[in-house]
Structure 1
Amino acid sequence: MEAHWLDRFIGLMPRQPAVLDIGCGSGEPMSRYLVERGCAVTGIDSSPEMIALCKGALPCQSWRVADMRSLSLSVRFDGLLAWDSFFHLCPEDQRKMFPIFRDHASPRAALMFTSGPSHGVAIGEFEGEPLYHASLDVDEYRTLLDENGFAVVAHVVEDEACGRHTIWLAQFI
């Protein structure tokens, strides 16, 4: 269901781009889709278990255990992806992520992330455990993107064709 958005993301980058998957989880399906389309993926996740799954499934890519909130790789990427990961941070930590996105973005880099549909906090459930979600409001995301050099390319709230994800696609200018 994410293919349409991933294709738009890939379309903003040069051929054979370097992509940073922020909060990559197991690497499925997002990183795999990117790799199958010629992207070189560096994935970070705070879970050693998730990174181990990535290394097993996609061993030719770069996988690192890291906390996105303190990420400083000293490398710039053609694309930055934070799909179903970024919104698990509290609002203050989300605000602090935008300079991190900027610091890891090559000129004209694509940035794609998911958020909630509006400002607020929600507690969901995953495998019987509570799962925290937070979102800033639309205007604040737009301001943070702009202040950090990103122009919004597309934004859809609760995209029916993509599992009701709220998606942001931007480009570093």
Structure 2
Amino acid sequence: MTPDDIIATYARIAPHWARLRNRTLMEKRWLDRMLDFTPLHGKQRRILDLGCGSGQPIASYLMERGAAVTGVDAAVPMVDLFAANLPDATVHHDDMRGLALGVPFDAILAWDSFFHLSADDQRAMFATFAAHAAPRAALMFTSGDTAGEVIGQVGEEPVYHASLAPDDYEECLARHGFDVIKHVANDPACGGHTIWLARFTGRY
């Protein structure tokens, strides 16, 4: 199992993954916190959901809160599920690596998706985050708590995960114009997720 296997794996297991996905919205407190720091540059807050999956429960909750959500996923079956679940949202079949939508967003979210990339691809993603960030945009992503690679499991399928060290994430954020608002490792109130919330201070 390598990072290059991730897209094919999620394409293969998409319906099974959607059935297994926890929908209790344990992420709600963090999503609300992100929205609190999301600026409004128009009638609706524009949110880019990278690795959006089926859109449930996260994108659907953000839309319930009045946001305009654009999903991106590299697995076609996930894009199809997202489009069926959220017909009023926008979704793109694309790889987040090297993404170039050409429009800014008020918040960028990469929840349980960014950490499937290799360490080098994660470092490169911060330029992509910045390229899609409107002034003072919020950025939130999940990572590991220490540097390294781990093979996890979704259903019966192995899946690759990687993480940088916390200091490396801080350096990548700062170098691309993001200030850390809050970072919690292994949050017990959110299923043990390690979460980063930052604000864009540069110019898009």
1:61 maps to 2:89:
yes
Q: CA deviation at 1:14?
A: 3.0
Q: Alignment partner for residue 11 of structure 1, among 15, 32, 36?
A: 36
Structure having the higher strand fraction is: 1
Deviations 1:113-157 (A, max 9, x none): 000011010001112111000000000000000000000000000
Matched residues, percent identical? 54
Amino acid at match of 2:64: E
Structure showing greater Rg? 2
Runs of 4+ in structure 1 deviating by more than 6 angstroms, as ranges, are none
Q: TM-score, normalised by structure 1?
A: 0.99
Of residues 117, 132, 152, the one that matches 2:145 is 117
* Structure 2 Cα separation of the partners of residues 31 and 107 of structure 1: 22
Q: TM-score, normalised by structure 2?
A: 0.84
**How far is the alpha carbon of 1:37 from its aligned partner?**
0.1
Q: CA deviation at 1:70?
A: 1.8
8 Å CA contact retained: 2:49, 2:110: yes
Q: How does 1:27-66 map to 2 (within 5 A)?
A: 27-66=55-94
CA–CA separation in structure 2 for the residues paired with 1:99 and 1:87: 16
SS at match of 1:100: helix
> 2-side partners of 1:121 and 1:50: how far apart?
25
What's the counterpart of residue 87 of structure 1? Answer: 115
Aligned residues: 173
Which residue is equivalent to 2:13? none
In structure 2, the residue corresponding to 1:70 is in which secondary structure? coil
